[in-house]
């Protein structure tokens, strides 16, 4: 899955991960990829890494209960490989915790072919520990690193998610501002908004520049509104593009996930407002991001 954060990648990767032929990265494993020396399942057969992640999840829900409505992340949810790449000091994970332009500029200047080789090696290790070895993965930052991604995984099928970047921005910075309650002594909505207005633009410009590097036969465009209107059909399209036949067992897994994860969540939704919360004018943002809509005209505007 390659696409902006908050563009449906999490729902899509979790949906596809119901296919038992695919290996995926649950949150508990992303947090602790390698078990401690000599450790193993407890008496109940549960991996202690899962148990530690479960305790962290419960603590997070107590400290920040609205986080579940924006990005619920129980231990078994499928997450991003940027957590693995962060071990090689090359990902933008830290930018979700703090505004660090010097780090951003340094990381953008790295030769990411070596870092993607590191990721490939990590996946091989994880496949050895627990199969199968055909992966379903997702990371928004791949948008600005499509060259190294394709050269490292040349036979990958790329599900290219497409969503209104203004809607993405309002979702992302609302979630970040809420998280800043626990990370900062004070919340700076203006500074937060300014950083991520620019950061989203950087991701978009890289995507527009390099999208042609994805072989057309290996790319499936996932427009957000079409995906939300029939997520199971989109998942089947992607699986077929990857050469995987969608049989009864696969359909049952897709149906079960869709039924248990309805659009809008089970516990309510967050109301987003760029003007009221951050003093941003959506019309000005649409002007700034016009180049992206020109490159992908199938994207629908969502923000008002």
Stretch 232-256: mean pLDDT: 96
Provide the mean pLDDT of the chain. 92
Whether residue 243 is predicted with pLDDT greater than 80 in this model: the reply is yes
Whether residue 190 is predicted with pLDDT greater than 90 in this model: the reply is yes
For residue 265, name the pLDDT band (cuts at 50, 70, 90): low
Task: Indicate whether 243 belongs to any domain.
Answer: yes
Whether residue 84 is predicted with pLDDT greater than 70 in this model: the reply is yes
CATH number at residue 244: 3.40.50.300
* Contact status, residue 172 vs residue 303, Cβ threshold 8 Å: no
For residue 150, name the pLDDT band (cuts at 50, 70, 90): very high
Stretch 1-7: mean pLDDT: 92
For residue 232, name the pLDDT band (cuts at 50, 70, 90): very high
What total of structural domains would you count in the chain?
1
Task: Indicate whether 302 belongs to any domain.
Answer: no
154-163 pLDDT, tens digit per residue, is 999 999 999 9
pLDDT of residue 42: 60
For residue 23, name the pLDDT band (cuts at 50, 70, 90): very high
Whether residue 272 is predicted with pLDDT greater than 90 in this model: the reply is no
Whether residue 81 is predicted with pLDDT greater than 90 in this model: the reply is yes
Task: Indicate whether 2 belongs to any domain.
Answer: no
pLDDT of residue 43: 61
pLDDT of residue 162: 96
3-state SS assignment for residue 81 = coil
% pLDDT > 70, the chain:
95
Residue 231 exposure: Cα atoms within 13 Å on the Cβ side: 22
pLDDT of residue 62: 92
Whether residue 267 is predicted with pLDDT greater than 70 in this model: the reply is no
Quickly tell me which residue has 């659009």 as its tokens. 263
Stretch 249-263: mean pLDDT: 91
| Beta strand spans in the chain (E) | 158-162, 219-223
pLDDT of residue 100: 93
For residue 37, name the pLDDT band (cuts at 50, 70, 90): confident
Task: Indicate whether 194 belongs to any domain.
Answer: yes
For residue 31, name the pLDDT band (cuts at 50, 70, 90): very high
Stretch 44-51: mean pLDDT: 85
Q: Give, as one character, the DSSP assignment of residue 38.
A: T
For residue 264, name the pLDDT band (cuts at 50, 70, 90): low
Domain extent at residue 23: 9-37+44-295
% pLDDT > 90, the chain:
82
Whether residue 270 is predicted with pLDDT greater than 90 in this model: the reply is no
Residue 41 exposure: Cα atoms within 13 Å on the Cβ side: 4
Stretch 131-150: mean pLDDT: 95
3-state SS assignment for residue 277 = helix
pLDDT of residue 217: 96
In whole angstroms, what is the distance from residue 220 CA to residue 1 CA? Answer: 10
């Amino acid at each position: 899955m390659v696409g902006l954060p908050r563009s449906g990648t999490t729902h899509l990767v979790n949906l596809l991960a119901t296919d038992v032929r695919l290996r995926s990265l649950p949150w508990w494993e992303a947090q602790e990829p390698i078990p401690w020396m000599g450790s193993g399942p407890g008496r109940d057969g549960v991996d202690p890494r899962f148990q530690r992640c479960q305790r962290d999840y419960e603590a997070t829900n107590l400290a920040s209960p609205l986080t579940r409505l924006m990005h619920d992340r129980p231990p078994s949810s499928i997450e991003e490989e940027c957590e693995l790449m962060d071990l090689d000091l090359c990902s933008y994970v830290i930018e979700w915790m703090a505004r660090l332009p010097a780090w951003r500029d340094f990381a953008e200047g790295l030769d990411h072919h070596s870092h993607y080789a590191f990721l490939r090696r990590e996946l091989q290790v994880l496949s050895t520990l627990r199969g199968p070895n055909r992966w379903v993965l997702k990371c928004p930052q791949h948008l600005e690193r499509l060259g190294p991604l394709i050269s490292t995984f040349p036979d990958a099928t790329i599900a290219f998610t497409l969503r209104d970047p203004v809607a993405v921005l309002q979702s992302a910075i609302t979630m970040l501002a809420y998280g800043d309650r626990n990370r900062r002594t004070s919340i700076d909505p203006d500074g937060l908004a300014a950083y991520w207005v620019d950061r989203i633009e950087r991701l978009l410009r890289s995507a527009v520049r390099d999208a042609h590097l994805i072989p057309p036969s290996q790319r499936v465009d996932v427009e957000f509104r079409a995906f939300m209107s029939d997520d199971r059909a989109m998942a089947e399209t992607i699986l077929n593009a990857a050469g995987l036949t969608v049989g009864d067992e696969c359909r049952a897994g897709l149906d079960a996930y869709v039924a248990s994860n309805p659009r809008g969540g089970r516990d309510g939704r967050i109301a987003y407002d760029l003007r009221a919360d951050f003093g941003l004018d959506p019309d000005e943002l649409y002007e700034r991001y016009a180049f992206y809509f020109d490159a992908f005209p199938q994207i629908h505007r969502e923000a008002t």
